[in-house]
Amino acid sequence: MRYLHTLLLLIFCSLAAAALPASGDDDDTPEAALRRGKGPHWLNRLITTSPILRQHHVGVCITDAATGEQLYELNSEQYFTPASTMKLFSLYAGLHLLGDSLPSLRYVVRHDSLLFWGTGDPTLLHGDVPSRRAFGFLQSRPEKLFYAPIPCVEAFGPGWSWDDYNYYFSPERGPFPVYGHTVRFYAKANQPLHVAPRIFTALVEPAPPSFASTDHVRRSVLENRFYVLPFTKSWIDETPFRTSPEVLLKLLQDTLRRPVQALPWALRPQDSVYTLRGLPVDSLYRRMLQVSDNFLAEQLLLMCSSQLGPDSLDTGRAIRAVRRQWLQDLPDAPRWVDGSGLSRLNLATPRDLTALLFKLHQEVPEPRLLSLLAAGGGHGTLRRGYHDARGTWFWGKTGTLTNVHNLSGYLRTRKGRLLAVSFMNNHHVVETSAVRKEMERILAQVREKM
């Protein structure tokens, strides 16, 4: 009986194995579905057989932007470093908390004195999104001016790379930014270097012969001392400066051409607090998203925090409020720690991002929403791709760090259908340009066939 039992068991196992589908597109086991993705087989093959994508972590989610119906997914429930695609979360926060215009500053009037403090608005004399509203207000007021440094987050966010401090994309955060917290250097052959703001001119010196750098300008890590390499050609460079209340007072006094004194921030029960409104919000959103401006994104969350209470500017407070009130229904709980996506502590899944894109499409008129994003063949980080003879077919937000390249946005198919797409690549060692071209090749097929 023992041998008969064993023989019957072997026969049963052989029959069961014969009944299993062959490996390939017809294999519907859970393991194979996760490996291949769930959706059109042709799209599975394009992604999983790509020699460019095969050695790193890839996640894709595609849904109908109008209905939220999931059309394709590969590793969409797994967490990725999202990089600058996190700016879509910052956009969503601003849309819910800021209204139609930016809060430029807050102030109270006490007899012959005007006490003012920051809301995080980054546009005062900013080189790319300039506003003179606060400048004109402070310059024309008859009262004595007193600046009150409101409690604010640290200058650098959690998980930022410390050695990015010298680059234009990593200015320090702060409650009352001016000049975008950067110094601009204008070089022309055989002419003196022009520095703006001018108060930094005295802090610029030629780089010593032993100076090892490929940058035009290199700042000391801990102080505002700038070293300029010899030049024979014209160039423009932008370098962050170290912020402090003392530096801000010098900049304000030099710019406004009137005294500004410091005063501890403290409200009295009888104080009436007023808010000076600034630029329309879309002017900031557009610049932030299209060129992926990290500083604007960080300051956006500080402005959102200012709307939740006048006592401090706290990125974490804004994030917690938005998640609690408007993002409880995301498929997965993102780890969201900053406004720009510079931090590698951020984590999000592809299906989180398509769910967010679906919510944005529901809440913002489509023409306005698409106008805020980088456009294929048009402007921003997508200007060199994602278009054909008929025009733009992708609008979205890229996210790039070393070994990371992601794309989240909206794809218009040949049939006119608008899809929400999140295509995430982490830990790639091939050139980012190769990953970018392969993503465009695959998404061009999605445009044709879906």
Q: How confident is the model at residue 267 (pLDDT cuts 50, 70, 90)?
A: confident
Residue 376's contacts (CB-CB under 8 Å, 6 or more residues apart) are: 382, 383, 385, 386, 387, 392, 393, 394, 395
Mean pLDDT lowest among 95-109, 197-211, 328-342? 197-211
CATH number at residue 72: 3.40.710.10
- Both 61 and 157 in one domain: the answer is no
Query: Is the separation of the CB atoms in 145 and 114 below 8 Å?
Result: yes
Domain assignment present for residue 27? The answer is no
Residue 362's contacts (CB-CB under 8 Å, 6 or more residues apart) are: none
Instruction: Among 249, 278, 307, identify where a domain stops.
Output: 278
Query: Which pLDDT does position 311 carry in this prediction?
Result: 84
Query: Which pLDDT does position 265 carry in this prediction?
Result: 83
Query: Which pLDDT does position 421 carry in this prediction?
Result: 98
Q: How confident is the model at residue 230 (pLDDT cuts 50, 70, 90)?
A: confident
Of residues 40, 41, 44, 70, the one with CA closest to residue 58: 44
pTM recorded for the entire structure: 0.90
Q: How confident is the model at residue 310 (pLDDT cuts 50, 70, 90)?
A: confident
Q: Is the pLDDT of residue 166 over 80?
A: yes
The C-alpha atoms of residue 184 and residue 163 are separated, in whole angstroms, by: 20
Rounded mean pLDDT of 29-50? Answer: 76
- Both 117 and 265 in one domain: the answer is yes
Instruction: Among 262, 278, 294, identify where a domain stops.
Output: 278
- Both 40 and 186 in one domain: the answer is no
Rounded mean pLDDT of 133-160? Answer: 96
Residue 108's contacts (CB-CB under 8 Å, 6 or more residues apart) are: 114, 115, 267, 271, 272, 273, 274
- Both 73 and 212 in one domain: the answer is no
Domain assignment present for residue 428? The answer is yes
State the burial class of residue 312 (Cβ atoms within 10 Å of its Cβ: 0-12, 13-18, 19+). Answer: middle
Of residues 37, 62, 63, the one with CA closest to residue 48: 37
Residue type, 353: L
Query: Which pLDDT does position 18 carry in this prediction?
Result: 43
- Both 73 and 110 in one domain: the answer is no
Domain assignment present for residue 202? The answer is yes
Of residues 375, 435, 373, the one with CA closest to residue 400: 435
Q: Is the pLDDT of residue 356 over 70?
A: yes
The C-alpha atoms of residue 243 and residue 315 are separated, in whole angstroms, by: 18
- Both 200 and 233 in one domain: the answer is yes
Query: Which pLDDT does position 26 carry in this prediction?
Result: 47
Range of the domain at 67: 33-82+348-449
Domain assignment present for residue 133? The answer is yes
- Both 137 and 218 in one domain: the answer is yes
Query: Is the separation of the CB atoms in 399 and 393 below 8 Å?
Result: no
- Both 114 and 261 in one domain: the answer is yes
- Both 230 and 112 in one domain: the answer is yes
- Both 110 and 146 in one domain: the answer is yes
Q: Is the pLDDT of residue 30 over 50?
A: no
Q: How does pLDDT run across 366-388, given as a tens digit for each residue?
A: 999 999 999 999 989 999 999 98
Domain assignment present for residue 433? The answer is yes
Q: How confident is the model at residue 357 (pLDDT cuts 50, 70, 90)?
A: very high
- Both 234 and 353 in one domain: the answer is no
- Both 378 and 268 in one domain: the answer is no
Mean pLDDT lowest among 17-26, 122-131, 151-160, 202-211? 17-26
Sign of CA dihedral 70, 71, 73, 79: negative
Within 10 A of 213 (CB to CB), how many other CB atoms are there?
11
Domain assignment present for residue 411? The answer is yes
Query: Which pLDDT does position 324 carry in this prediction?
Result: 97
Tally the domains of the chain.
2
Q: Is the pLDDT of residue 2 over 60?
A: no
Domain assignment present for residue 158? The answer is yes
Instruction: Among 263, 278, 293, identify where a domain stops.
Output: 278
Domain assignment present for residue 409? The answer is yes
